[in-house]
Structure 1
Amino acid sequence: MKKLVQLMRLWLMKFWVPLTIVIVMLGTAVSLTVVLLHKQQITVQIPNLTLRKQKGVESAPISVLKKGEHLQILKKSEGWYEVRREDESTGWVAGWLLHRQQPLKSVTPLSETTIVLDPGHGGSDAGSLSTNNKYEKTYTLQLAKRVAKQLRKTGARVIMTRNTDKIVYLAKIPKVAEDNHADMFISFHFDSSPDPNTATGYTSYYYHKDNGSYALAKSINAKLALPLLNKGVEYGNFLVIRDNSVPAILLENGYMNSNHDFKYIKSKAYQEKIAKAIPIGIQNYLTNQTKTAQ
């Protein structure tokens, strides 16, 4: 017995370094596996999230996830997660909603939508001027932020082309929507006429008619109901919507160099009216798109 103990001691003395390395490596591997498995698990924080067959709001729904369900994340793509439920069934869910903790009044297709908002101009590009030398870029940013706030209340994923007074070069603006695989793009502007106080009203512009842009412009324009002349839906050859492959529209929400219009443009109440109308218009658009697909 004493001889066996001596042999074991000699063996340990001879191999203690490689043995220690193996133990450390095994411990690290186990710890890393536990961490990775934990990271791939997620608990549903809000009820009634739609599980879809494929990623995207237009994909067919499979089921509804309950609050407190434990899911395993299999894949992440374009803001969507492919997940496995405890019963081994799989599907896709909007990733931003899985991470959301603030309750929603209701989960709608709008909640599962990615929307890019573009506050026109910015930085050295001031845009149009009012008769008292106020810049268009100031009010497009104010308005876009108000719209973003209303959309986020619905659960929608909102991406801004700018959040501050900085220039975003025109050629890069459509890429924001495409790089983020957005469901739609809305650019905010305020018009200008050759001579001050000679024009009034708001117009909803589209460029592409067959990709949903025209339908989106119509749906939002119908819900704006602003205290200015509604000039309707018009074709507009603007780069930010022309070079955009997603449904894309440009909203001119009044004339900067009209004293009558500018009184509204600078008004918080006017901007809020637009901000509250746009989610309704988008929801109607999504509903109509679903009916058309069926």
Structure 2
Amino acid sequence: MLEEYRARQLRQENSLIGRGFLMNRLITLTAGAVLLLLSLLLAPSVMAADNETYMVDVEDGSSLLIRDEPTSSGEVVGKLQNGDQVTVFDEAYGWVKTYYDNQVGWVASQYLFPMEQNHDSLHKRKQTAMYKKQSVSSLTERKVQKQDSVAIKNGQEQSQTVEPLTGYTIVLDAGHGGKDPGAIGIDGTYEKDLTLATASKVAKNLKASGATIIMTRNDDTYISLEKRIKISNRSDTDAFISFHYNSFPIETVGGISTYHYTEDEDLELAENIQSGIMDHVSLKDNGTKQADYRVLKKNSDLSVLIELGFVSNPAELGEIKTETYQDNVAAGISEGIQHYFSH
């Protein structure tokens, strides 16, 4: 009898424990369901306000790796191709969070560009600079008198007119830098040194006329193309000017060219700059040319790229390296920019 009583008591205790476990489990599941329901109700409105869609922009044949955490040491969980679209939900340390195959993934932000930056939107943003050009120039003509300055051409001082640029922001991009020397002259001259020298002189000229200047680099530092574009796109930029010196296997090839991407807004700026340069130097005039250089194609602001002579041409290199040439091309570029924004 005693053993039967103990067995019955044990069955009752197990039953109570089982019911308690089930009750706790039921409470837990109910709470989880409520939280899940709330998250489903609330999350969409948050995401709709916060998320943005970007397009992957990598070199042809390359892939953008998706990692499980915002670091280059994170495990690769997937790959994106050029032109793929990505919805971004967060950003950290130069990485953005997205979702890939139902899991969180992180990709490097410098390879993503807003979907709104298609050709039409680029056209509209470039046109904004043109409208600003018209309104600001008319204002400065009424309030600011043109100033006289001195330019050097062939060793002789020449007077020039400085158009006021107050209210304009110009980004000057000295090509290459750091680990990227650019073209190397026949005597070992680095393109990166020449571009920085030229951009610095142009910066001084434009500041004197009232412009706000942003340099993509001020010293021998490597700056990626993506970062150069971002510096321009994230600033209140009216014009982006990229400086380069050319090279070619045939030593006799030479001359100066100014490149543009669009055939309207950018072309007009390119023509003004090319004309300004050729008023000050004697190198061959190769004119303006259309090109889809990355810093132009992905730039949402007025933008041009200037090739200021060939370091592979012995005759041109000897002239390019002189202080006089640097002063002259800087004066020509500055005048071209000033002329564009004042007319």
Taking structure 2 as the reference length, what is the TM-score of the superposition?
Answer: 0.53
The structure 1 residue matched to 2:323, chosen from 253, 265, 268, is: 268
Map 1:67-146; keep pairs closer than 5 Å. Answer: 105=147, 110-146=165-201
Quote the residue 2:221 is aligned against: 166
**Residue aligned with 2:165, SS:** helix
Q: CA RMSD in A?
A: 2.7
Quote the residue 2:262 is aligned against: 208
Quote the residue 2:293 is aligned against: 238
Q: Is the 1:57–1:109 contact (alpha carbons within 8 Å) kept by the matching residues of 2?
A: no
1: CA distance, partners of 2:326 / 2:165:
21
2: CA distance, partners of 1:252 / 1:62:
32
Quote the residue 2:273 is aligned against: 220
Per-residue CA shift, 1:158-195, capped at 9, x if unaligned? 10000000010011111111111210000000000024
Q: Is the 2:241–2:303 contact (alpha carbons within 8 Å) kept by the matching residues of 1?
A: yes
Quote the residue 2:11 is aligned against: none
2: CA distance, partners of 1:192 / 1:63:
43
**Residue aligned with 2:166, SS:** helix
Q: Which protein shows a greater Rg? A: 2
The structural deviation recorded for 1:227 is 1.4
The structural deviation recorded for 1:121 is 0.1
Map 1:189-200; keep pairs closer than 5 Å. Answer: 189-195=244-250, 197-200=251-254
Which sections of structure 2, spanning at least 5 residues, go unmatched? 1-130, 149-161
**Residues 244 and 63 (structure 1 numbering): CA distance in 2 closer, same or farther, change over 3 Å?**
closer
Letter in 2 for 1:125: D
Q: Would you say how many aligned residue pairs link Structure 1 and Structure 2?
A: 197
2: CA distance, partners of 1:271 / 1:139:
9
Per-residue CA shift, 1:60-102, capped at 9, x if unaligned? 79988xx9xxxxxxxxxxxxxxxxxxxxxxxxxxxxxxxxxxx
Quote the residue 2:306 is aligned against: 251
2: CA distance, partners of 1:132 / 1:146:
23
Which sections of structure 1, spanning at least 5 residues, go unmatched? 1-54, 68-102, 289-294
Q: Is the 1:213–1:248 contact (alpha carbons within 8 Å) kept by the matching residues of 2?
A: yes
**Residue aligned with 1:278, SS:** helix
The structural deviation recorded for 1:237 is 1.9
2: CA distance, partners of 1:159 / 1:236:
24
Q: Is the 2:165–2:338 contact (alpha carbons within 8 Å) kept by the matching residues of 1?
A: yes
1: CA distance, partners of 2:138 / 2:305:
35
1: CA distance, partners of 2:171 / 2:137:
24
1: CA distance, partners of 2:308 / 2:221:
21
**Residues 131 and 284 (structure 1 numbering): CA distance in 2 closer, same or farther, change over 3 Å?**
same
